[in-house]
Amino acid sequence: MKRLLLCLLAAGPLLLNAAAPAPAPMHKPYGLVIHGGAGVIRREELPPALEAEYRAQLAAALAAGYAVLDGGGSALDAVVAAIRVLEDSPLFNAGKGAVLNAAGVCELDAAIMDGRTLAAGAVAGVRHIRNPIRLARDVMERSGHVLVVGDGAEVFARKLGYTLEDESYFQTDVRRRQLERARQLETTGQPAAALPAGTLGRGVTGDEYRVNEFKFGTVGCVALDQAGNLAAGTSTGGMTNKRYGRVGDSPIIGAGTYASNGTCAVSATGYGEYFIRTVVGHDIAAQMEYRGASLAEAAAATLAKVARLGGTGGVIAIDRAGHIALPFNTAGMYRGHHLAGGEAVVEIFQ
C-alpha cells in the first residue's frame, strides 16, 4: 500500500503534465522542402564528384529559399528563390540543362500556386524563358489566367520586358547524348551498349544508357512562411524524347503542383502522365480535407495509387503545422528540407 502511494505521488507531476497543453514551440513553424527530381539514382552509379555538385546545388537552393522565410518573407517568394537556383544549374531538368524533346529542343513547363488565395499560374512549352517559374508567377499575378502556353506565353513575357534566351542557352551535351540514347531505344527497342566512363561528360558513366534514369530531374519547392501561408512551385523540361507539344504534370494545377492553406502544398516529380491521371497534388490535399488524413498518410496513399497504375516518381509536401513528407518509389530523389529550429538537410538516395 505504502509502495502504491509512493508510486502515485511520483507519477503525479507526469499525470498533470499529460493533461496540460503542450508548451508553445520556441518558434513559429516555417520552412521549405525542395526536390530536384526522382529516378534510378544509385549511390554506386553516381560519381562522387557529381554527387558533391548535386548536393551543393540543392544546399544553395535551400539556403536561398530559407533566407526569404527566415527574414519574414512570403512562401511564394521562397519558392521562386529556391527554384531559380535549380533552374540556373545545368544539373537539373529545368531551365538550363533541361531535357530535349523528340525534335531536339527544350520545351519548358512550370507552375506556382499560392495556398492563401488558391491563385495559380503556369506556363507550358516555352522555349526561350530562362526562369519559367518567374513567368508562371507573372501569369498568376498579371495575366488574369492560370495557364498560358507556347508562343502566347513568350509574347506575354516579352510584353513584361523579359529577355528571351536563345535555345542554345538551355541545351547541354549530356542532354544531347541522352536524347540519342532515347531515340536508339525507341527505334531498336535496345539500349545502346554501355559507353566508357566519362564519355557522357561531367563524369557520368556509360550506365547512362538506361534512358529511364534520366527522364526525371524536374525541380520543385513547397514552403510555409511565418504568417502561416503555404505555396508550391514546380519547373521542368519534361521527359527526354517527349513528343513535340507534350505537356506533363508539373504545370497542371492539382496534378504536379498544388497548394491550399487549409491542407498542404505539394510538388511532384516522376512520370507525368501517371501523375496527371492520379491528380496527385489535389488528391493528397483532398484526403486531408475529406477524411482527416495526416500529411504523411495522404502522400503515401496517393503515391501508392500512382504506383498501382504503373507510375514512378515522388512528391514533396508540407502542411500548415510544418509537417513534411517526401515519399518516392524510385531508387532515389534529389531532395532537401530546412525547417525553423532545425538544420538544412540534403539527401539523394533511399
Min dist CB 218 to ligand ASP, Å, is: 3
**Residue 290, C-alpha cell as written in the block:** 475529406
Q: Which of 211, 77, 176, 217 is nearest to 134 (CA)?
A: 77
CB 262 within 8 Å of CB 116: no
Min dist CB 240 to ligand ASP, Å, is: 9
Nearer to ligand ASP, 218 or 261 (CB): 218
Is residue 93 a contact point for ligand ASP (CB under 6 A)? yes
Is residue 258 a contact point for ligand ASP (CB under 6 A)? no
Whose grid coordinates read 527522364?
215
Residues contacting ligand ASP: total by CB under 6 A: 16
Binding residue for ligand ASP, selected from 250, 261, 263, 278, defined by CB under 6 A: 250
Min dist CB 274 to ligand ASP, Å, is: 9
Q: Which of 127, 122, 46, 124 is nearest to 91 (CA)?
A: 46
Instruction: Give catalytic residue positions.
Output: 218
Q: Residue 52 burial (CB < 10 Å; 0-12/13-18/19+)?
A: exposed
Nearer to ligand ASP, 37 or 73 (CB): 37
CB 53 within 8 Å of CB 92: no
Q: Which of 81, 82, 91, 100 is nearest to 52 (CA)?
A: 91
Give me the 207-246 binding string for ligand ASP, x by CB under 6 A, dash otherwise. Answer: ---------xxx-----------------x-xx-------
Is residue 272 a contact point for ligand ASP (CB under 6 A)? yes
Min dist CB 61 to ligand ASP, Å, is: 16
Min dist CB 40 to ligand ASP, Å, is: 12
Q: What is the DSSP string of 152-207?
A: HHHHHHHHTTPPPPPGGGT--HHHHHHHHHHHHHHHHSSPPPPPPTTTTSTT--GG
Cα angle 293-341-38, degrees, rounded to a multiple of 5: 55
Min dist CB 271 to ligand ASP, Å, is: 6
Nearer to ligand ASP, 73 or 220 (CB): 220
Is residue 281 a contact point for ligand ASP (CB under 6 A)? no
Min dist CB 116 to ligand ASP, Å, is: 25
Nearer to ligand ASP, 313 or 332 (CB): 313
Nearer to ligand ASP, 99 or 231 (CB): 99
CB 30 within 8 Å of CB 12: no
* DSSP-based three-state secondary structure for 146: coil
Is residue 322 a contact point for ligand ASP (CB under 6 A)? no
Q: Is the dihedral of CA 332, 335, 337, 343 positive or negative?
A: positive
Binding residue for ligand ASP, selected from 30, 31, 34, 37, defined by CB under 6 A: 37
Is residue 95 a contact point for ligand ASP (CB under 6 A)? no
Cα dihedral 310, 316, 317, 323, rounded to 10, equals 120
DSSP assignment, residue 44?
G
Calpha distance 233→223 (Å, rounded)? 9
Is residue 327 a contact point for ligand ASP (CB under 6 A)? no
Q: What are phi and psi of 313, to 5 degrees?
A: 150, -155
Is residue 269 a contact point for ligand ASP (CB under 6 A)? yes
Is residue 270 a contact point for ligand ASP (CB under 6 A)? yes
Give me the 156-195 binding string for ligand ASP, x by CB under 6 A, dash otherwise. Answer: ----------------------------------------
Give the footprint of ligand ASP on this chain (CB under 6 A): 37, 93, 216-218, 236, 238-239, 248-250, 256, 269-270, 272, 313
